[in-house]
Amino acid sequence: MNLEGRKIIVNKSSKELSEILKSPENYKDFMPDGLQKFETRDNGFKFGLQGMPEIALKIDEVTEQKAVLKSASSSLDFTLTAALNPVNDTQTEVQMLFEGKFNPFIKMMVEKPLQNFINTLTDKIEVYK
């Protein structure tokens, strides 16, 4: 299952943005309303949203071209990537890309909430100061 967020322009260089995305604490600022739990770990974070199970993510790789988050749970196999494309020295195009391997039943249950989550992340990154 692949999902994509809309492409946005963020008023930060890709170097600046990649530095922000390396730090687990910063992801709290991108979370949707209804956040009930947020815990940072060495290389990632765990969060809980109203009406959804808790999700643990680890920061797998961060470069000036992308930031890759992977599921920290062996029962869920997915990655969430922020593709970073420098526009100029002070702006970066960002697109959230989700790739997961789910059975058809799980896919049916999670597709809409995941797309909403990706859309919210995109909106929050777009206005991040």
83-109 pLDDT, tens digit per residue, is 999 999 999 999 999 999 999 998 898
Look at residue 96 in the predicted model and tell me its pLDDT.
97
* CB neighbourhood size of 89 (10 A): 9
CATH classification of the domain holding 54:
3.30.530.20
Q: How far is CA 14 from the centre of its chain?
A: 16
Q: What is the pTM of this model?
A: 0.93
Domain of residue 116 covers 2-126
- Cα angle vertex 32, ends 75, 108, to 5°? 45
Domain count, the chain: 1
Look at residue 49 in the predicted model and tell me its pLDDT.
87
- How far apart CA 46 and CA 37 sit, in angstroms, is 8
pLDDT tens for each residue of 11-21: 999 999 999 99
Contact 38, 31 (CB under 8 A): yes
- How far apart CA 118 and CA 100 sit, in angstroms, is 13
